[in-house]
Amino acid sequence: MFKLNLKIALRNLWKNKTSSFINVIGLAIGLAACLMLLLYVSYEWNFDKQAKKSKDVYIVMTHITDDFGKDIFTFDGTPTSLSSTISSGIPEIEFVSRVSYDQNLLIANGENSFKKTAKFADADFIKMYDFEFLSGDEKTALLKPGSVILTQSMAQTLFGTTQVIDRTVRFQDKTDLKITGVVKDAPSNSSNKFDYLLPWSEYGKVDKAADDLSWGNYSFNTLVRLTENANILDVDNKMDRLVKGKAKWNHSPFFLFPLSKLHLFGKFENGKSVGGDIDQIWLFMGLAFGILLIACINFMNMATAKSEKRAKEVGIKKTIGATRKSLILQFLTESMVLTLLSIFIAIILVEGALPTFGNLLNISLNISFVEIKSWLAILGIVFFTGLIAGSYPAFYLSSFNPIQTLKRKIKSRGFLSINLRQVLIIGQFCFAIMLIISTIVIYKQIQFIKDKPVGIDVNALVDMPLEGELKEKFDLLKTNLLNSGAVSSVAQSSISLLHHGRNFSGLEWQGMSKAQNSILFNQVGTAYDFIKTSGLKLISGRDFSPQYSSDTVSVLISSAAAKIMELKNPIGSVLKFNKTDVTVIGVFEDYAWDSPYNANNPMIVYFNKDNSENVTMRLNPKQSLQENVSVIEKITKEINPAYPVQLNFVSSSYDKLLRKEKTLGILSNLFGGLAIFVSCLGLFGLVAYSAEQRTKEFGVRKVLGASVASLMQLLSLSFIKMIGVAIVIAIPISYYAMGKWLNNFEFHTEITWWIMPLAAISTLLMALITVSFQAYKTAKANPVDALKYE
């Protein structure tokens, strides 16, 4: 039976080319979209989950509250002392290690020098994960000071080979390190990715704070691995007891959080995870299955359109001994065959589109065809799709009573079938219209943020790290750059203009409501020409200037800071900063330095020539960009030959802050387009089928004198009405949903009235074109042909 069913399914596919084509192409697009999104979802979902014991690896989080226990924020920074404090006395902790945030540092083999991602960690770090050592002894690799572990690709880049054990690399143009191990590169979806790994003891050479055992500097991660099935609450409590005496807290701010969850559930409120990027994952899952469902609906609609014919078939087969089960199997065979055919096309489509798609999202995705898991997943999707697509004929039609279907005068259109079809079409177009509206709103929001004044003129701003020789010779650099004419102004600072950094320590002002400040201030150390270079607008006062020797104990504050400190007359006010009295000499307008979506924290700019990490330059607008850049590169390289020059455009950093929303925009645009296309494809199929069914009727009507226009109306009006209903349903839903989405942003655009008619009219137009094309063809046909046809 199965063989015959299969044969007939294939024969039907071949015979009804139009509807097969529509079904297969629609399903293939739906499946391809679904596969791509699922690939992306699985990439995100598997973040930090590759290692065998990854679920036992936790990161210590710090929950900062104010004096009254009110939530301030939660982050993954911890002080250096924590790890040694909890390393003994908590039996559940197998391994504990301090780990640095990613550091982009210089590593060289002779002339071959690169800035690559370095990480510093304690020896236990190696044991937490199953790093695959290509060479070297994993037990001792991270023990000795002066050692380094390279990844395979790092070794290749530096030496052209991975046989590099015991060779030396030069680090930061200062120290020679001995290579003690080469490990396989970590997958790109892991947060502990590095190009080279150094023992913690080396960290002090880059950041002195790393050498101190302190409870005050939260610039380091602490990772632990627990024994299997350890109770986290117990561990948290034990940690609490160990930490309590050490610092002045009433209770410990530390708690454990699974590292593998941080990526997707990294949004915290009150020290509890309240989601995060997982929301986006749900959204993408919804999109993936939404598109697939649209394609399945096409299939179902074609099936319901043909249900009259199929019902008769069911009736006949039942009288010759077919059971319901065998009929269900037959219908499912048909849809499975179709889905299988579609998945092959889908895989080809995915293979073709994946590189571009990956580029758009800035990650590399690929289907690993060698893994059984991916095949199982694909088969699962095929099965699921085939089942959904085939469910209507399989379960509904097969239940028909033979006599109903065989009687000559069976109601030509089942009440239920036409209704179901309408509902499905309306649902399809609802989804498509909602996607169009979302796309427009998302783009509008991105545009709104882009157009919002950031407070500084970022277009001619570049910055680069202040490192190596540059630190010592900053004044020479500044003079040379200014003399060259490539830049109009240069300033040094502790951090770049755009960064995620906030701090509430060390600041006091008069009339402060509490003994200790609990408001986060962005603190930037700088020297001369900060305002001039950045282009910040001074509201009152002046920039730092060498003319005033007292400027070394002066500060600039943002207008938000002035407001918070309630300074009536800010200029000349005296604040306490790091235990020193400092005078406010200038107030500048706020600018977006962290997130372009929210009002940023207040900012204080203090004078410090010695801890600068960054150079900001304003390019000379009179010269071409290339010229300026090459001059800067040349001058910098001369002074600091060991380091590659890393010029960064501040405007591109701003663009990066919009990445997440851009991704969302791209995806909803892409998949919205696909949804509309597949929906219209289905509509086309239905109109084509109904036109074919009514060829004779149309012939008769034409002979009786009906006009082409009236025939077209006859054929397309009901479809257009359905789109109308879809519009009416979709608009309020998307208005509500997008309103909610926009409310996530403190600064957001409005949903203007024209978006709705725009989406509605464009959808209607597309549907109209689809329908009329076929309707016109049918209506124009020669009546004689139509009547002869019977």
For another protein, give the closer residue by CB, 119 or 318.
318
Q: Does residue 12 interact with another protein by CB under 8 A?
A: yes
Contact 8, 327 (CB under 8 A): no
Q: How many positions of this chain bind another protein (CB under 8 A)?
A: 24
Choices 57-65, 158-166, 321-329, 657-665; region in contact with another protein by CB under 8 A? 321-329
Least distance (Å) from another protein to the CB of residue 343? Answer: 24
One character per residue 76-105, x = contact with another protein (rule: CB under 8 A): ------------------------------
Q: Does residue 69 interact with another protein by CB under 8 A?
A: no
What residues does 223 pair with on adjacent strands?
59, 97
Least distance (Å) from another protein to the CB of residue 393? Answer: 14
Tokens 């409501």 locate to 513
For another protein, give the closer residue by CB, 1 or 213.
1
Q: Does residue 748 interact with another protein by CB under 8 A?
A: no
Least distance (Å) from another protein to the CB of residue 188? Answer: 51
C-alpha to C-alpha distance for 500 and 522, rounded to whole angstroms: 9
Choices 104-112, 319-327, 343-351, 656-664; region in contact with another protein by CB under 8 A? 319-327
The residue within the footprint of another protein, chosen from 63, 119, 306, 318 (CB under 8 A), is 318
Least distance (Å) from another protein to the CB of residue 395? Answer: 15
* Angstrom distances, CA of residue 442 to CA of 111, 448, 662, 688, 691: 47, 10, 8, 36, 39
C-alpha to C-alpha distance for 540 and 570, rounded to whole angstroms: 9
Q: Does residue 693 interact with another protein by CB under 8 A?
A: no
Alpha helices in 369-414 (DSSP H): 372-391, 402-406
Least distance (Å) from another protein to the CB of residue 313? Answer: 6
Q: Does residue 11 interact with another protein by CB under 8 A?
A: yes
Choices 240-248, 314-322, 487-495, 780-788; region in contact with another protein by CB under 8 A? 314-322
Q: Does residue 646 interact with another protein by CB under 8 A?
A: no
Please enumerate in sequence order all residues whose Cβ is within 8 A of that of 259, keeping only pairs 6 or more positions apart, or say none: 48, 54, 57, 58, 59, 191, 223
Tokens 């947060």 locate to 191
Please enumerate in sequence order all residues whose Cβ is within 8 A of that of 739, keeping only pairs 6 or more positions apart, or say none: 751
Least distance (Å) from another protein to the CB of residue 418? Answer: 23
Nearest by Cα to 597 from 388, 486, 720, 446: 446
Handedness of CA 180, 184, 185, 189 (dihedral sign): negative
Q: Does residue 161 interact with another protein by CB under 8 A?
A: no
Q: Does residue 502 interact with another protein by CB under 8 A?
A: no
Nearest by Cα to 507 from 586, 613, 581: 581
Q: Does residue 409 interact with another protein by CB under 8 A?
A: no
475 CB burial (10 A radius; 0-12, 13-18, 19+): exposed
Tell me the one-letter amino acid at 139: K
C-alpha to C-alpha distance for 688 and 158, rounded to whole angstroms: 63
Tell me the one-letter amino acid at 574: V
Contact 572, 556 (CB under 8 A): no
For another protein, give the closer residue by CB, 309 or 450.
309
Least distance (Å) from another protein to the CB of residue 326? Answer: 6
Q: Does residue 473 interact with another protein by CB under 8 A?
A: no
Q: Does residue 324 interact with another protein by CB under 8 A?
A: yes
One character per residue 255-294, x = contact with another protein (rule: CB under 8 A): ----------------------------------------
Least distance (Å) from another protein to the CB of residue 317? Answer: 7
C-alpha to C-alpha distance for 290 and 671, rounded to whole angstroms: 10
Nearest-10 Cα torsion for 626, 629, 631, 633: -140
Least distance (Å) from another protein to the CB of residue 775? Answer: 27
Least distance (Å) from another protein to the CB of residue 329? Answer: 12
Least distance (Å) from another protein to the CB of residue 316? Answer: 5
Least distance (Å) from another protein to the CB of residue 14? Answer: 11
What element of type H or E holds 223?
Answer: strand 221-226
* Angstrom distances, CA of residue 717 to CA of 306, 475, 720: 20, 77, 5
Q: Does residue 312 interact with another protein by CB under 8 A?
A: yes
267 CB burial (10 A radius; 0-12, 13-18, 19+): middle
Q: Does residue 411 interact with another protein by CB under 8 A?
A: no
Least distance (Å) from another protein to the CB of residue 308? Answer: 13
Least distance (Å) from another protein to the CB of residue 695? Answer: 16
Q: Does residue 320 interact with another protein by CB under 8 A?
A: yes
Nearest by Cα to 237 from 33, 51, 413, 86: 86
Q: Does residue 315 interact with another protein by CB under 8 A?
A: yes
Q: Does residue 8 interact with another protein by CB under 8 A?
A: yes
Least distance (Å) from another protein to the CB of residue 311? Answer: 12
Please enumerate in sequence order all residues whose Cβ is within 8 A of that of 326, keeping only pairs 6 or more positions apart, or say none: 1, 317
C-alpha to C-alpha distance for 700 and 706, rounded to whole angstroms: 9
The residue within the footprint of another protein, chosen from 71, 313, 613, 692 (CB under 8 A), is 313
One character per residue 379-408, x = contact with another protein (rule: CB under 8 A): ----------------------xxx--x-x
Q: Does residue 317 interact with another protein by CB under 8 A?
A: yes
The residue within the footprint of another protein, chosen from 69, 110, 245, 321 (CB under 8 A), is 321
Choices 142-150, 309-317, 587-595, 697-705; region in contact with another protein by CB under 8 A? 309-317
* Angstrom distances, CA of residue 520 to CA of 129, 168, 511, 514: 35, 43, 17, 14
Choices 317-325, 483-491, 553-561, 569-577; region in contact with another protein by CB under 8 A? 317-325
Q: Does residue 326 interact with another protein by CB under 8 A?
A: yes
Handedness of CA 32, 33, 35, 40 (dihedral sign): positive
The residue within the footprint of another protein, chosen from 233, 316, 761, 784 (CB under 8 A), is 316
Q: Does residue 6 interact with another protein by CB under 8 A?
A: no
Report helix angle 695-703 to 755-780, nearest 10: 70
The residue within the footprint of another protein, chosen from 323, 419, 752, 782 (CB under 8 A), is 323
Contact 528, 543 (CB under 8 A): yes
Q: Which residues are near another protein by CB under 8 A?
A: 1, 4, 8, 11-12, 15, 312-313, 315-324, 326, 401-403, 406, 408
